[in-house]
């Protein structure tokens, strides 16, 4: 039924397909791994596909990884775990969409990131995209005879497009819309208490000012009350995973910057951890401190912008956002001086960071940490927390309770605002976070007000960490490895995860010993957290939905990848 994964460089257990639900139930109920954070499909042609599950205890400690292997013959079928872990809903749909793994028992298995008429499953190893040249970079075909050219110049537009048989774009009606609205049908009632009741379906987004980017929510409304909801994603999707598997390991580092474009530093951190685990290399001591400093500064500016834009969602127009962005700009000044870029920092390297903090920058960091950010946080708290508009719109407006938050795999501030003190920096420390004295911020009401307050709490805890890191940072090298354009990564698998400002950001990376990742999968907090949106929206007023969605602090670049 269960056997250890004995492949060199791999860990965890391999579970027989027919025993998956029984084993997953025991893992959750008997062994206490109640938080299923990541579900990843992997293609191993010609004979098998694999689904990898990462489960953790919300009480802390290392995780448990188990896998199911099935024959690579269509239909590739694996039992769905949605009835045990509702949080796998969108992740199973993603694996179906991109790899063609059919999760039997899933009640709403539709494409999620690709468009409805898309042909094939693009993360399969034998799938070839438009403008395909070679499986992995560097593409040798790009400089024949020493002459560089763009592949697009030799491939006229439309030659790379493949349509389904008999497809006529002029007559095409998306099937997916019928499935989408069909998924809402269970909320439709024709009669209640003898009265005919009409429920209407509305689309909010994908380009709606309150939907935080290209996100679309399809809702069934009963009057002003939300009776059903389906999130629609994928408008930004460029198949980050596929491109990541074409890139070399090092070339993926700047690529991670683009995910959550507010937090490229923490994006770098998670990927660096995964590859360093595979390479089994240490991180230079000074670089460990620098990593913590830039990550916590990143968390502070993220939460400040969250609060500023939250006030926008509540109707405060632009003034609070401008105050928040002023502090963010000062932190980006630091990032620019350190890395050379304000948003796409590309700063981490395997074994350390790419550059040291310049001598004239550390005093600026101290000024921010010891003076300005402390003062500005207090000022923000005084201005907003007792504001009667905020209190009336958020206090007592329920978001999610602890039990449901865990079941739906929610991580980050939303989980902690529901009363679960789970923070990866404490629960399963990475880097040198175990050296610092700080508290895991937690609130217990689970309402919108607590979701706002938890961000202020976390800014203060980040300032505590920064205070210690600045005082303790040693002199020395900033990388344990020599600078190089290519790294050698032994065969095996690794999962690197960090507590990003939005929750767990994880990278599952598989190496076959060659210069490019065999599998590169991002587990984004924004994508998994939104799984619970349907659950928490039903029964709330549509006016509250805008604020409720804001509490997830979604960035669609990370969500869609």
3-state secondary structure of 67: strand
Q: What is the mean pLDDT of residues 523-548?
A: 92
CB atoms within 10 A of CB 181: 14
What digits encode the pLDDT tens for the residues 309-331?
A: 898 888 887 888 899 999 999 99
Dihedral over Cα of 91, 94, 95, 100: its sign = positive
- The pTM of the full predicted model, rounded to 2 decimals, is 0.90
Q: Give the DSSP H or E segment for 289.
A: helix 285-313
3-state secondary structure of 177: helix
Q: For 214, which DSSP code?
A: S
Q: What's residue 417's pLDDT?
A: 95
63 exposure class (CB count in 10 Å sphere: 0-12, 13-18, 19+): buried
Q: Cβ(309)–Cβ(384) under 8 Å?
A: no
Q: Cβ(512)–Cβ(7) under 8 Å?
A: no
Look at the block and give the residue holding tokens 């409720």. 548
Q: What's residue 87's pLDDT?
A: 93
Cis peptide before 138 (omega within 30 of 0): yes
Q: Cβ(554)–Cβ(410) under 8 Å?
A: no
How far is it, in rounded angstroms, from Cα 211 to Cα 208?
Answer: 5
What digits encode the pLDDT tens for the residues 416-430?
A: 999 999 999 999 999
What secondary structure does DSSP assign to 292-318, as a single string? HHHHHHHHHHHHHHHHHHHHHHTT-TT
- Is residue 72 over pLDDT 60? yes
Q: Give φ, ψ of 279 to 5 degrees.
A: -80, -15
**Residue 521's pLDDT band (cuts 50, 70, 90):** very high
Show the tokens assigned to 297.
């500064």
What digits encode the pLDDT tens for the residues 29-50?
A: 999 999 999 999 999 999 999 9
Q: What's residue 133's pLDDT?
A: 81
Look at the block and give the residue holding tokens 């070399």. 248
Q: What is the mean pLDDT of residues 473-487?
A: 90
């Amino acid at each position: 039924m269960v056997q250890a994964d004995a492949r060199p460089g791999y860990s965890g257990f391999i579970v027989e397909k027919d025993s998956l639900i029984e084993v997953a139930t025991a893992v959750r109920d008997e062994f206490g791994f109640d938080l299923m954070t990541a579900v990843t499909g992997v293609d191993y042609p010609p004979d098998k596909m694999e689904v990898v599950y990462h489960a953790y205890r919300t009480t802390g400690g290392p995780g448990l990884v188990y896998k199911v292997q099935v024959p690579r013959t269509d239909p590739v079928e694996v039992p769905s775990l949605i009835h045990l872990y509702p949080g796998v809903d969108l992740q199973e749909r993603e694996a179906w969409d991109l790899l063609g793994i059919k999760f039997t028992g899933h009640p709403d298995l539709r494409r999620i990131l690709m468009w409805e008429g898309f042909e094939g499953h693009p993360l399969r190893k034998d799938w070839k995209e438009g403008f395909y040249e070679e499986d992995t970079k560097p593409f040798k075909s790009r400089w024949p005879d020493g002459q560089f050219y763009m592949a697009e110049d030799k491939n006229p537009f439309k030659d790379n497009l493949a349509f389904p048989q008999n497809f006529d774009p002029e007559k095409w009606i998306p099937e997916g819309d019928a499935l989408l609205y069909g998924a809402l049908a269970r909320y439709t009632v024709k009669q209640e208490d003898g009265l005919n009741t009409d429920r209407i379906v509305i689309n909010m987004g994908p380009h709606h000012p309150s939907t935080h980017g290209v996100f679309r929510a399809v809702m069934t409304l009963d009057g002003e009350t939300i009776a059903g909801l389906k999130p629609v994603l994928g408008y930004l999707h460029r198949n980050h995973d596929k491109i990541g598997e074409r890139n070399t390991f090092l070339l993926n580092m700047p690529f991670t910057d683009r995910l959550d474009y507010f937090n490229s530093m923490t994006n770098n951190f998670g990927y660096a951890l995964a590859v360093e685990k595979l390479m089994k290399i240490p991180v230079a001591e000074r670089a460990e401190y620098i990593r913590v400093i830039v990550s916590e500064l990143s968390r502070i500016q993220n939460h400040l912008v969250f609060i500023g834009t939250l006030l926008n969602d509540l109707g405060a127009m632009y003034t609070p956002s401008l105050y928040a962005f002023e502090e963010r700009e000062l932190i980006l000044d630091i990032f620019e001086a350190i890395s050379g870029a304000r948003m796409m920092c590309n700063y981490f390297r395997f074994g350390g960071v790419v550059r040291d903090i310049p001598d004239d920058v550390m005093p600026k960091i101290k000024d921010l940490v010891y003076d300005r950010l402390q003062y500005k946080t207090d000022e923000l708290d005084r201005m907003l927390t007792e504001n009667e508009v905020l209190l009336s719109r958020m206090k007592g407006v329920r978001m999610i309770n602890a039990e449901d938050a865990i079941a739906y795999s929610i991580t980050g501030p939303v989980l902690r605002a529901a009363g679960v003190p789970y923070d990866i920096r404490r629960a399963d420390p990475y880097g040198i976070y175990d050296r610092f004295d700080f508290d895991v911020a937690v609130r217990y009401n689970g309402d919108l007000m607590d979701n706002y307050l938890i961000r202020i709490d976390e800014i203060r805890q980040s300032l505590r960490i920064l205070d210690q890191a600045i005082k303790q940072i040693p002199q020395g090298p900033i990388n344990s490895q020599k600078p190089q354009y290519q790294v050698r990564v032994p065969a095996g698998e690794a999962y690197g995860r960090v507590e990003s400002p939005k929750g767990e950001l994880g990278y599952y990376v598989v190496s076959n010993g060659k210069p490019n990742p065999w599998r590169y999968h991002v587990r984004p907090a924004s994508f998994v957290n939104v799984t619970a949106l349907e659950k928490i929206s039903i029964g709330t007023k549509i006016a509250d939905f805008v604020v409720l969605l804001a509490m997830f602090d979604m960035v669609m670049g990370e969500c869609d990848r």
